Amino acid sequence: MTEKLSRLQIAWRLAQDLEEGLVVNLGAGMPLTVSNYVPAGREVIFHSENGVLGIGPRPAAGRENPQLRNAGNQPITLLPGGSLFHHADSFTMIRGGHIDVCVLGAYEVAENGDLANWILPDSPRAPAVGGAMDLATGAKRVFVMMEHCSKEGEPKILKKCSLPLTGLACVSSIYTDMAVIDRDPDGLVVREMIAGMDLAGLQSVTGASLRLADHWRVLSAPLL
Amino acid sequence: MTEKLSRLQIAWRLAQDLEEGLVVNLGAGMPLTVSNYVPAGREVIFHSENGVLGIGPRPAAGRENPQLRNAGNQPITLLPGGSLFHHADSFTMIRGGHIDVCVLGAYEVAENGDLANWILPDSPRAPAVGGAMDLATGAKRVFVMMEHCSKEGEPKILKKCSLPLTGLACVSSIYTDMAVIDRDPDGLVVREMIAGMDLAGLQSVTGASLRLADHWRVLSAPLL
Amino acid sequence: MINKIVSSLAEAVRDIGDGSVILLGGFIDQGTPDRLLEVLAERRPRDLVIATNNPSVNGRGLAVLMQAGCVRKLICSFPRAPNSDLIEDRMRAGELELEVVPQGTLAERVRSAGAGIPGFYTRTSVGTPLAEGKEHRDFEGETYVFEAAIKGDFALINAHQADRWGNLVYSGSWRNFNPVMAMGARITIAQVREIVPAGELDPETIVTPGIFVNRVVRLED
Amino acid sequence: MINKIVSSLAEAVRDIGDGSVILLGGFIDQGTPDRLLEVLAERRPRDLVIATNNPSVNGRGLAVLMQAGCVRKLICSFPRAPNSDLIEDRMRAGELELEVVPQGTLAERVRSAGAGIPGFYTRTSVGTPLAEGKEHRDFEGETYVFEAAIKGDFALINAHQADRWGNLVYSGSWRNFNPVMAMGARITIAQVREIVPAGELDPETIVTPGIFVNRVVRLED
């Protein structure tokens, strides 16, 4: 049977791919959970666009510093080696290609790497972009983590995005509850699928053509 | 008789016009001497383009910090309130109009405020501009200090500069060994002349038309 | 003697007039200049243009100014907050103009103004609705969009410590937009938690040199 | 464990190849990366393009590299020094290309490269020989000239203290161009006087966060 990953399991799976020494920005929401699952002993430097490098574990209850929070407004700690800077320097890091990986959620990803994750045209809310466009465009690699399909069961990986874009041809890898998919110059390549899933099954819930990597593996994650 | 000012006296005279609280950049060479003559008790903040604000008196012999020097490479001290920053921030201050006054030497000044102070076309030396163009263009006011005439006795204040320019229409005031001259929308206005000098005499050593201010005064400086 | 310390919040914001462009430091509710904004709201200036990362999320500061009807236009990256109904309602009523700007573009547009740079090119937003109507240009095979500087008449910021020359240091992530906005305005006004004698801040560690700051006011405890 | 500390100068500059664009920190002889340059000169790379405020004034560092015939082009603001005969002689011999850039324009061109900005407009140099051949453009009645980013393959810099993450602090006016050049290169290499354990540098006072630094080498006493 095909057991889909939970959101935390997606975060866990993505975290395994963050190599030692990378500088990684985690988008607000679900991506922020990724930092909990970096393998012990591996140093990954987490960046927050409000001017922090080297974010450590969440502070213990009662030990929060109200003047040290991430871009999701959660209390944080700094690791030894952490540093602080202002917004223009922070986005010099982002826009200038100094961030190795950013992790973002998505409404839609296209097979050419286009990303839509900031606005639903029919929303009554004011349009809010934050740092999403800067990160999508500036980071060396953009990892998307999301459910493979929308709540209505529609594919979110598409030939072409229908929603207003966040960035062009920027997504490098997609981590979903069903698969890990990389983008190469020819399109989308499935690197991992959950147990019981085959390419035809994955293709049936995907709006863009998928190829299977030669050495694809089963996508699995511990219970979290 | 007409007693011309020495270079140090020009510096002294200029220093009297630096009001409390101004941020002032002093060009290398002769302008650096200006800081010695700010009236006691008046706080003027001296900026050096290599990343220093709040330069204090020259350090006592043997007390120099080799890692604290000005743009002329002389040892300096910092006043309480001084700060340090990098070159991009330093020229944000300059280019962004945050420097109230810069003091520069000049080969030529034109009546429209054009300044030539960086290159002699027939020099065998490599052309070297340093921060002169940034300062001439970016400072709110540019004070020129120079001898009124060249060593050959030729006027240095001209209808139009003949040398390659440093900046366009940037000079606000000129302090020479004979006069203090301001620029207004109609041209050059003599604010002070040395004792014994009259407008005709000054005009005869000046290549641009001068007007005499209504309340002009005698230019004088203590013996230095 | 140079003394940028003013004795009250009201004195600090005394000359912010109708139609002023005001840059705000702060991010979410980290290091926002709430008290300056609240005291400004008492004076009921009209038609203010506010550049800030986001609206007030705690009902303080900018929320008070907006509720007082003082704001005509908001330039920001994330115009959404617990109280952003206010923004949306006023937008629908045609009483509030909104310009959405990517966060880093906002920071750089303000820094540019402070640095005497009228605008710059960035890849950020190319291909998105936020680039529509802007000049596009290719450099080495990549497409960029031109973003114009945002110059403030005033910046209102929040800092940890100040001295009488206006030197500032911040604390933790409350630094964020504050030093950037300080660079981009004609007059920068800081609310600070502590004032120390000149010379007490280590020159090596001052983040905002006093050249960028015009007035400092200490918050009452 | 992240460890950007390398054990020798030679290892620090091991991969600087012919034709590299190298950004140098330092100003006059304040905070120049002399030892890195001298060890690089031993390897005799060819056709280097060097961006720096000025040539070596003390006969060390860049002077050694130039005397070894490694430099094809110099981008600098003040190409004059006690030893600048060398520059002028080589220029006349057609062996050295010189691009003179106003000092602040040099800093901003490099910072732009580091910030993902391909170029910017400035009033500096308009109307002078240094603006000739460059794009001019008016903004609000003022004329500006376009200056393109300078991206380095390498930056060689000088700092006071470092940790294994590459965080740097400087000392006094030896800061100058060093943090700027660190931002503008693909690989930044710092010679430092002291290495301290991670966490010993106060996060509030780090000037160059380690993200901008690839290798750190401590000078022998």
Confidence of residue A193 (pLDDT cuts 50, 70, 90): very high
Distances in whole angstroms, Cα of residue C156 to Cα of each of A118, B36, C112, C182: 29, 36, 18, 8
| Angle between helix B87-95 and helix D103-114 axes, rounded to 10 deg | 120
Number of structural domains (chain D) is: 1
Contact partners, residue A101, CB within 8 Å, separation at least 6: A18, A22, A23, A24, A25, A139, A140, A141, A142, A143
**Residues 140-199 in C contacting D (C-alpha not used; CB under 8 Å):** 140, 142, 144, 169-172
- CATH number, domain of A64, equals 3.40.1080.10
Question: How confident is the model at residue D12, as a pLDDT?
Answer: 98
Percent of all residues in chain B with a pLDDT value above 70, rounded to a whole number: 99
Altogether, the residues listed in chain A come to a count of: 224
Work out the minimum CA distance from C120 to partner chain D, whole angstroms: 5
Mean pLDDT of D164-184: 98
| Residue C141 placed within a domain | no
Report whether pLDDT(B39) > 60: yes
Report whether pLDDT(D84) > 90: no
Question: How confident is the model at residue A107, as a pLDDT?
Answer: 97
Side-chain-side CA neighbours of A45 within 13 Å: the count stands at 27
Altogether, the residues listed in chain D come to a count of: 221
Query: DSSP label at A207?
Result: B
Chosen from A114, A133, A165, A168 to mutate, greatest number of chain C CBs within 10 A: A133
* Cβ atoms of D148 and D117 closer than 8 Å: no
Judge: D118–C140 Cβ closer than 8 Å, yes or no: yes
Rounded Cα–Cα distance for residues B8 and B30 (Å): 8
Question: How confident is the model at residue D71, as a pLDDT?
Answer: 97
Judge: B52–D177 Cβ closer than 8 Å, yes or no: no
What is the ipTM for the molecules in this complex?
0.97
- CATH number, domain of C116, equals 3.40.1080.10
Judge: C2–B20 Cβ closer than 8 Å, yes or no: yes
Alpha helices in chain A (DSSP H): 7-16, 87-95, 132-138, 199-204
pLDDT beneath 70: ranges in chain C: 83
Question: How confident is the model at residue B130, as a pLDDT?
Answer: 97
- Predicted confidence (pLDDT) per residue in B47-59, tens digit: 999 999 999 999 9
Question: How confident is the model at residue B126, as a pLDDT?
Answer: 87
Which chain C residues touch B55 with a CB distance below 8 Å?
Answer: none
Which chain B residues touch D53 with a CB distance below 8 Å?
Answer: 87
Size of interface A-D (CB pairs under 8 A): 68
| Residue B1 placed within a domain | no
Candidates B108, B115, B96; CA nearest to B47 is B96
Confidence of residue A147 (pLDDT cuts 50, 70, 90): very high
Residue numbers of A annotated as active site: 49
| Residue A224 placed within a domain | no
Handedness of CA C76, D140, B108, D88 (dihedral sign): positive
Rounded Cα–Cα distance for residues C177 and A72 (Å): 16
Chosen from B52, B91, B140, B163 to mutate, greatest number of chain D CBs within 10 A: B91
| Residue A2 placed within a domain | no
Mean pLDDT of D20-27: 98
Query: DSSP label at C150?
Result: -
The domain containing residue C83 runs over which residues? 9-120+150-218
Mean pLDDT of A112-139: 94
| Residue C202 placed within a domain | yes
| Residue B212 placed within a domain | yes
**Residues 25-44 in B contacting C (C-alpha not used; CB under 8 Å):** 43
Mean pLDDT of D143-167: 98
Query: DSSP label at B149?
Result: B
Judge: C206–B83 Cβ closer than 8 Å, yes or no: yes
Distances in whole angstroms, Cα of residue B16 to Cα of each of B213, C3, C111, D179: 19, 21, 34, 36
Average pLDDT of chain B to the nearest whole number: 96
Report whether pLDDT(A2) > 80: no
Number of structural domains (chain B) is: 1
| Residue B145 placed within a domain | yes
Average pLDDT of chain D to the nearest whole number: 96
Residue numbers of B annotated as active site: 49
Amino acid (1-letter code) at residue C3: N
Size of interface C-D (CB pairs under 8 A): 50
Confidence of residue A28 (pLDDT cuts 50, 70, 90): confident
* Cβ atoms of C23 and C36 closer than 8 Å: no
Work out the minimum CA distance from A23 to partner chain D, whole angstroms: 7
- Predicted confidence (pLDDT) per residue in B109-136, tens digit: 999 999 999 999 888 888 999 999 999 9
Question: Residue D137's closest chain C neighbor by CA?
Answer: C118
* φ, ψ at C189 (rounded to 5°): -125, 125
- Predicted confidence (pLDDT) per residue in A209-221, tens digit: 999 999 999 999 9
Size of interface B-D (CB pairs under 8 A): 139
Chain C contact residues (CB < 8 Å to B)? 1-2, 111, 113-117, 163-165, 167, 183, 197-201, 203-204, 206, 209-212
| Residue A1 placed within a domain | no
Confidence of residue B2 (pLDDT cuts 50, 70, 90): low
Please name the member of D115, D198, D210 whose beta carbon is closest to the beta carbon of A92: D115
The domain containing residue A129 runs over which residues? 7-219
Rounded Cα–Cα distance for residues B4 and D136 (Å): 43
Please name the member of C111, C114, C209 whose beta carbon is closest to the beta carbon of B53: C209
Rounded Cα–Cα distance for residues D168 and D178 (Å): 10
Rounded Cα–Cα distance for residues C207 and B147 (Å): 40
Which chain A residues touch D110 with a CB distance below 8 Å?
Answer: none
Is residue B75 within 8 angstroms of chain D, CB to CB?
no
DSSP assignments along chain D, one per residue: ----B-S-HHHHTTT--TT-EEEE--BTTBS--HHHHHHHHHT---SEEEEESS--SSSSTHHHHHHTT-EEEEEES----TTTHHHHHHHHTT--EEEE--HHHHHHHHHHHHTT--EEEESTTTTSGGGTTS-EEEETTEEEEEEE---EEEEEEEEEEE-TT--EE--GGG-TTHHHHHHHEEEEEEEEEEE--TT-S-GGG-SB-GGG-SEEEEPP-
Query: DSSP label at A159?
Result: S
* φ, ψ at C37 (rounded to 5°): -65, -40
Question: How confident is the model at residue D83, as a pLDDT?
Answer: 67
Question: How confident is the model at residue A198, as a pLDDT?
Answer: 96
Report whether pLDDT(A1) > 70: no
Report whether pLDDT(A186) > 90: yes
Question: How confident is the model at residue C83, as a pLDDT?
Answer: 67
Q: Kindly report the CA angle at D92 between D87 and D95, in degrees rounded to 5?
A: 70
- Predicted confidence (pLDDT) per residue in D157-168, tens digit: 999 999 999 999
Average pLDDT of chain A to the nearest whole number: 96
Work out the minimum CA distance from C135 to partner chain D, whole angstroms: 13
Q: Which residue has the tokens 């004792």?
A: B195
Neighbours of chain B (3+ CB pairs under 8 A): C, D
Work out the minimum CA distance from A107 to partner chain D, whole angstroms: 27
